[in-house]
């Protein structure tokens, strides 16, 4: 007969060690709570690292923006005009997106 211990339950919980079952009574929390806690820790860590990563990315892009911004505006304009000329929607969207990305980057950099 297995030993009985009080585990904070209304009745005693058995501990089976001799059977090699490793049933150590009732735990105050389950494995789901452990996984949930680890997920919450990971999410909080990522949220705290976002400003650091954003600063590094913004610094790297700001250094090369003087070179790439005119190239992207000209290529976006060329794709947009070409798409409007030959009535091809994918080129129009691509050109508009390139121009929009340069404008968005300009606003973010100077904000």
Could you state, in order of their start, the residue ranges of all structural domains in the chain? 3-110
- pLDDT string in tens for the chain (111-residue length): 455 555 555 655 555 555 555 555 555 667 788 889 999 999 999 999 888 888 888 788 788 888 888 998 999 999 999 999 999 999 999 999 999 999 988 887 777
DSSP state of 15: E
List all residues 6 or more positions away from 15 whose beta carbon is below 8 Å from its beta carbon: 2, 3, 4, 5, 23, 24, 25
């Amino acid at each position: 007969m297995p030993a009985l211990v009080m585990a904070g339950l209304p009745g005693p919980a058995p501990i089976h060690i001799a059977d090699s079952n490793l049933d150590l009574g009732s735990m105050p929390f389950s494995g789901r709570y452990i996984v949930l806690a680890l997920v919450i820790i990971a999410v909080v860590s990522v949220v705290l690292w976002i400003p650091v990563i954003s600063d590094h990315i913004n610094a790297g892009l700001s250094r090369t923006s003087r070179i790439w911004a005119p190239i992207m505006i000209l290529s976006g304009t060329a794709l947009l005009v070409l798409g409007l000329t030959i009535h091809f929607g994918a080129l129009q969207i691509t050109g508009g997106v390139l121009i929009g990305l340069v404008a968005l980057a300009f606003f973010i950099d100077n904000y």
